[in-house]
Structure 1
């Protein structure tokens, strides 16, 4: 017995040493207090049974030990192999936990757990009378915390237990529940045998635990918070899940019929208990308490240990080492190999298992707190109900096992070397290092790996059959890879083994470049993109692509591919080979990428069945003209047809052709395809002549931008932008302005011919000239004043032959209509001098004008300045007169054309000069009808408008090299001028009305002949709206004069088939 006890002590010391590797330099918790049953009891029940008579009957009720009259002990547990009254061969888990914490020797008086304890109720009366339930244990603990001192009737404000018994950060543990289910299976009021199965009530046990476990934690936390002198840094509560007694040797040996029911009931209850405990933590957090509740999922740990004992250092996880009735070793177990066993007796774990549980609880605490944790064995993260994040660094030689349906996020740069296994739910990572050392194997067998960033993974991966089918959140797929939108997970320089089915989810990309050693039955691309670029063949009985998902890559797939989503061969441009059949349904599409000399290809070694649609993609920096590519071929049969092809861009059309074993596509480039106007077609012909497959420098940038337009309408607008619209607008605006200046000079001659006189109040219209020289002003000054105020001295006036000076300001808006119309605005001034000579008038004038145009699209503008010199004259032949004008105009022009299409955004700026010659002759007569004068006339106008050649700047090859252009306008005309005058309150009022019709027999359109800068093709010629064939001009004027002051205003409107222009003129005159 001493030898066995020595072995036990040595084993305990060794295990404590292993645990100490995780101990902190400073203890994590100030004190540790324990509640529970035999899994935490360090001798209370043993001591109680020593003092109670008829212990054997008690023991029968306590554990169903079946002690007979031949038993050799009256205490529980039985025999010297149990260490000092513990229900194991050494320390229990709370003692190991204390060693890890490192706050000093373990203090048994802080352990209130009792072997055989239950929660809420007892079935056996012996147990009820002798063993406190966990609720009663908690009563004692709460009393210990809250009880105050005092004597007789004198109360004290001091607590009976000093604060040092708890400290600033106490830890409380609670592990209960196994006995609640055990007693339901085997206990009666007075015995532990012969229980009728119909009396078993597992639901009662579950409901009691579901109420008691969270309820006792709440009561305890309230008691702790009632004292301000303890737990200043917050209390922590470890709550272990209920152990699944359905897998213990006791149930297997004595109550096997209840094993499955117990497993199902306890598993479901644990889940519900977890949920309520999480709600308590929510309340802690909402109240901003520094309290923590750590759910230690011992049930999940022990399940894994029993499934794979070797990973945890055990060889036997099903048999017990000693018999609880006799206290003696059974079977192959002995003191020398007890460390190989998970179970010490039929119901309790060995001390080695206790050490493992303590380490598991401690690591759970560290991981959930975001602290560094060293794994020395597999860690089971059963993440249910709530998602969890392990933000700290995980080190050590151990592994990480993920179960449960929720998401576990690994955020630390981890180095644990044992690998990672995902049985259910999801592990979310942003880097491969989150999964520990590269040598650690990643195993998926029913769970999901979720990646949130782009990275490469070169660790080996095992894809096994799913073990989560039928579980909450379970999957039929052995492996699910979820990549988030905009990210790519690349698997390369590694080996993928295992035959589990694979699913791809998430909107990102999974690129498999690994050596895949095993085949699988199903690969399902449910979301995002799967690229098969495997170093070896990728074998799958069936690969399905869901609607909205994409299959790509340049590897070889052995199996049948069924596409309801998108097939995109290659990685940029490449060939995907299918050693099997390819079936594309009506929802499916193929995305083919092409460039100048290459194209995507699908090679099918079985039968090719096509349907649905085909989409095309290309890099616009790759040039394509009239070419044919065979993109799909099969060695079997080819059946079906694709639907309508979506063109790459408005300038490139495609045609499909079907052969016996292939499908081909022919491309046809035609820049005129989207053109809707003659100008757009003219530009398109120039582009067709200029487009070459070899590099063309910046001109390629223009072609690439055109290829990035997506619709026919956008393509047509791009052609229009290149047509030189603003350049033509300057010529039309110039023609409008030349006509206005000529008519202004004709107005001047008409005013002099009428002989409007200076008058004083009371002088009649027919009166003779009355001198204004009342102040001694000379005849010359009077004549000058008369000219400056746009009036002529009456015939026979003293200064009728003197020189007359005049000036006129004019300006206004206009609009040129049509598809390429524009708005124009201009303003100018004319000054001149003229003199009468024996029935004739001779004069000269100089003019200056500024004008702007703005295309209706808002993308084209021009600015022009005009400098005009003119001579004019009028011959009076009695009732007949002849007026004539000749002028020369020099123009300075600037244009700005916005070129915005595809990804091109440039502004072409042009600067050029112009030379205009204008001439006009009018032949008319004069009639008087009382106070009304009428002047009908015939006329002929001729304008020659010349524009210099130039090259635009600032737009590279999108700019135009523009040739010089000459525009001739020849306009016969007929018109009439009506005028009168009358006095009103001493003011001379002179209204006028003029109308004229012009018929243009010359050029009616404005032309631009140009080519893209650097383009090899012949230039194009585009036509734009001019002043049109027919133009009507109507004007009205009004003059008011009193004494030496004269005020006048005039409005003119020119209206034609294409043009509308307005002139407003005005001024005043002062005579002296």
Structure 2
């Protein structure tokens, strides 16, 4: 009868240690166990049977070797477990085929022998922070398929080989993991291998970082990974004799060579982040280098047959050999020497200061120099119809395409000014060909202010740069004023104003040039002044509405509508305004536009604000009050991104008196204004903060003419305004900053028109929550006696000699004004409250503005 012990789990765990010590005790009684545990004594943990599992418990230390090379087993080191055979000088794990898993921070150490050695491959997994350390080799397989995975921050440290396999090998390094060998190999494999290095990983060996023989290998290095050969004659990556594929976005360093591809038909791909230290040798076979993303290499590419540029931007500065260089996309700069026939595709560019030893066929763009410099072709040059040669120039130098063979030309010549200050008539040589020039450029592109004359000679191409007047781009008289000042300065001493000239020459077309001139003319300053004057007028109109007849929902000194059923004589006019005091407040919002003309571009503004005041009766026919107002105006210019904000702080007096059928009203106020302007430019944001003072006065005389329940009252009036701002200088745009002189803008206008109003008694209408409703209207014609456009006297802060004057768009002197109001009056035992809404508009042939107001009045 078999003992029941074989079916009891707790006893099984006990036997896992005792059976190994005294197996004869139970011979013939129990079946061979399929598990074992690590022990803390020297010796060997025998594997009971193929497929058995050996466990090193968490946070324990074991010193016995596992296996004797003949069996297949699974070895688990739980978290924190340590298997250390370094004292006995033996291997730590020695199996035929092994599945070895190290938990988090688990560790295997061996001495002069391999830490993990298999005869026929296996799967080795290192958890996060786990380590395998050996004075010899850490992990090695004699044959079969070896799969090794390192978790985050895992480490393999070896004295000879970090990981080695004589069969096929698959290795993945997790983030932050390391393989360090102070001996020959970091990684060695004989047959095919797949190797992946993730971010912040590192493989290091003395002679080789990675070494393969038969192969092939497929290797991927992400950005931040490293492969290093520490020896002075070492090689970072030594590939196999098969067709290898290596993709690098990391760092590879060798003492002699960073990459050696040996004899296969290999593909090396460099992507953004790739950095190679040491020559890159294609060696034998047909080898290809692909460039993706962006990067730069100053080492030598040797013995390659093909270069494919498919990235965005790469620079090669070494001495390199490619049979053919296909520049398919982006820009490749050769700042060294490349031996290859280069083919530049339509969407690509080829440039630099180096020498291309071979023929160049250009269907894309050739860009000589690093900025300004010489690009040499030791061979022949062909520019097809779709090709272009980009040439940059300054006052002192010019790009040059230097060809030792022949040049066959077609396509486009593009000219770019990098410095400005070019004297008109300057001649440059942009291409020379020792073997002769055939054909010619079919089109030439340059600055809108340069007229290039291209001369094709027997062995060179020359360009004469003739200046075009900047005034030709001006579309208004304000733009013309600054353009004439610039033309005069450039004609006299162009070098002195080179920086300004270069910015003008960078304009893409005449429209862009006109926009630049418009912005530099200071038109945004004129717009901010116009917005400020409009705010002064708008705020004054609100106050005048308190004493005009009728106006703004603010019932006048006395109602101008006869009492229901009464006559239109003065005694029968309803008295509604005999109050000891009145407080009122209202908000307003609106906007306007001044159309563009030959003088300046159109400008638009939007204004919001609040006004409040208090008043008292002097006698039955007279009233006087004070008011304060605050308004925010935002301005912009047609087809520009220039902006201005104007803050208006205004305070004043208003008064009115009735003399029989006549009503006289007047207002006077002063204001402090704050201005902020911003002009985006190619040199930065030109911004300014400055202040000003303003004043506004208005007078009106009106004749009350009641007709039954309606009143039509003619009136005449006059108004005057003044706004003065201080001088200021812009900041933030370098040579394009403007210095603006102080300026005063004045207005003086007359007005003639008629007002009409009617009062509707609603006391007998229970559904109406007011006692009276009073609609009113004012219609008038206004004539301006002075020039209404704001003027700007300005100069370049960096070049005070370039001074000019500009002004805003000119408005028609005659305009129509219209005002519509609705007043609703209610009362209680103590207060009389009025609510009102109003529209004010001014319409001219070339300008208009509109404002809407709402508010309330409390009488007591």
Interval of TM-score (by shorter of Structure 1 and Structure 2): 0.5 to 0.7
State the alpha-carbon separation in 2 of the partners of residues 227 and 832 from structure 1: 95
**Is 1:1068–2:858 an aligned residue pair?**
yes
State the alpha-carbon separation in 2 of the partners of residues 573 and 732 from structure 1: 52
Pairing of 1:353-432 with structure 2 (within 5 A): 371-373=179-181, 384=192, 386-387=194-195, 391-396=202-207, 404=216, 406-407=218-219, 411-418=226-233, 420=235, 424-427=243-246
Pairing of 1:603-1002 with structure 2 (within 5 A): 603-613=402-412, 629-635=428-434, 636-642=436-442, 645=445, 655=452, 657-660=454-457, 661-662=460-461, 664=463, 666=465, 694=495, 722-723=522-523, 724=525, 725-747=527-549, 751-752=556-557, 790-791=577-578, 808-818=584-594, 819-832=602-615, 844-855=624-635, 859-870=643-654, 873-876=657-660, 881=662, 883-902=663-682, 904-916=684-696, 918-922=697-701, 924=703, 926-929=705-708, 932-952=709-729, 955=732, 958-980=737-759, 982=761, 984-985=763-764, 989=772, 991-1002=774-785
8 Å CA contact retained: 1:672, 1:685: yes
**1:283 and 1:375, CA in 2 relative to 1: closer, same or farther beyond 3 A?**
closer
Tell me the CA shift for residue 816 of structure 1.
Answer: 0.6
> Could you list the per-position Cα deviations for residues 247-276 of structure 1 after superposition, in whole angstroms to 9, with x for gaps in the alignment?
xxxxxxxxxxxxxxxxxxxxxxxxxxxxxx
8 Å CA contact retained: 1:814, 1:1062: yes
State the alpha-carbon separation in 2 of the partners of residues 1016 and 884 from structure 1: 53
The TM-score normalised by the length of structure 1 is 0.55
State the alpha-carbon separation in 2 of the partners of residues 843 and 377 from structure 1: 103
Provide structure 2 residue ranges, at least 5 long, that are not aligned to the other structure. 1-19, 51-68, 84-91, 99-119, 133-137, 146-159, 595-601
State the alpha-carbon separation in 2 of the partners of residues 844 and 359 from structure 1: 99
**1:1001 and 1:404, CA in 2 relative to 1: closer, same or farther beyond 3 A?**
same
> Could you list the per-position Cα deviations for residues 786-819 of structure 1 after superposition, in whole angstroms to 9, with x for gaps in the alignment?
99x7349xxxxxxxxxxx7655544421211354
**Is 1:1021–2:806 an aligned residue pair?**
yes
State the alpha-carbon separation in 2 of the partners of residues 848 and 228 from structure 1: 84
State the alpha-carbon separation in 1 of the partners of residues 94 and 298 from structure 2: 45
Tell me the CA shift for residue 730 of structure 1.
Answer: 0.9
Pairing of 1:247-286 with structure 2 (within 5 A): 281=123
**1:169 and 1:672, CA in 2 relative to 1: closer, same or farther beyond 3 A?**
farther
Tell me the CA shift for residue 578 of structure 1.
Answer: 2.2
State the alpha-carbon separation in 1 of the partners of residues 829 and 481 from structure 2: 64
Whichever structure has more strand as a proportion of its residues is 2
Pairing of 1:301-700 with structure 2 (within 5 A): 371-373=179-181, 384=192, 386-387=194-195, 391-396=202-207, 404=216, 406-407=218-219, 411-418=226-233, 420=235, 424-427=243-246, 434-438=252-256, 446-451=265-270, 459=278, 464=283, 466-467=284-285, 476-477=286-287, 480-491=288-299, 501-505=305-309, 507=311, 511-514=315-318, 522-526=324-328, 529-534=331-336, 539-540=339-340, 542-613=341-412, 629-635=428-434, 636-642=436-442, 645=445, 655=452, 657-660=454-457, 661-662=460-461, 664=463, 666=465, 694=495
Tell me the CA shift for residue 998 of structure 1.
Answer: 1.9
Equivalent residue number for residue 224 of structure 1: 73
**1:842 and 1:1068, CA in 2 relative to 1: closer, same or farther beyond 3 A?**
closer
8 Å CA contact retained: 1:686, 1:1020: no
Pairing of 1:84-163 with structure 2 (within 5 A): 154-157=29-32
**1:158 and 1:994, CA in 2 relative to 1: closer, same or farther beyond 3 A?**
closer
Q: SS at the partner of 2:802?
A: coil
State the alpha-carbon separation in 1 of the partners of residues 570 and 318 from structure 2: 114
Equivalent residue number for residue 839 of structure 2: 1053
Pairing of 1:996-1015 with structure 2 (within 5 A): 996-1003=779-786, 1005-1012=788-795, 1014=797, 1015=800
Tell me the CA shift for residue 890 of structure 1.
Answer: 1.9
8 Å CA contact retained: 1:708, 1:903: no
8 Å CA contact retained: 1:556, 1:579: yes
8 Å CA contact retained: 2:169, 2:191: no
8 Å CA contact retained: 1:504, 1:527: no
> Could you list the per-position Cα deviations for residues 638-660 of structure 1 after superposition, in whole angstroms to 9, with x for gaps in the alignment?
31435574x67xx7667563524
**1:1035 and 1:357, CA in 2 relative to 1: closer, same or farther beyond 3 A?**
closer
The TM-score normalised by the length of structure 2 is 0.66
State the alpha-carbon separation in 2 of the partners of residues 385 and 617 from structure 1: 52
Tell me the CA shift for residue 582 of structure 1.
Answer: 0.8
State the alpha-carbon separation in 2 of the partners of residues 592 and 719 from structure 1: 26
State the alpha-carbon separation in 2 of the partners of residues 703 and 730 from structure 1: 34
8 Å CA contact retained: 2:70, 2:95: no
State the alpha-carbon separation in 1 of the partners of residues 618 and 29 from structure 2: 135
Q: Which has the larger radius of gyration?
A: 1
Give the number of aligned pairs: 714
Equivalent residue number for residue 599 of structure 2: none
State the alpha-carbon separation in 2 of the partners of residues 515 and 948 from structure 1: 65
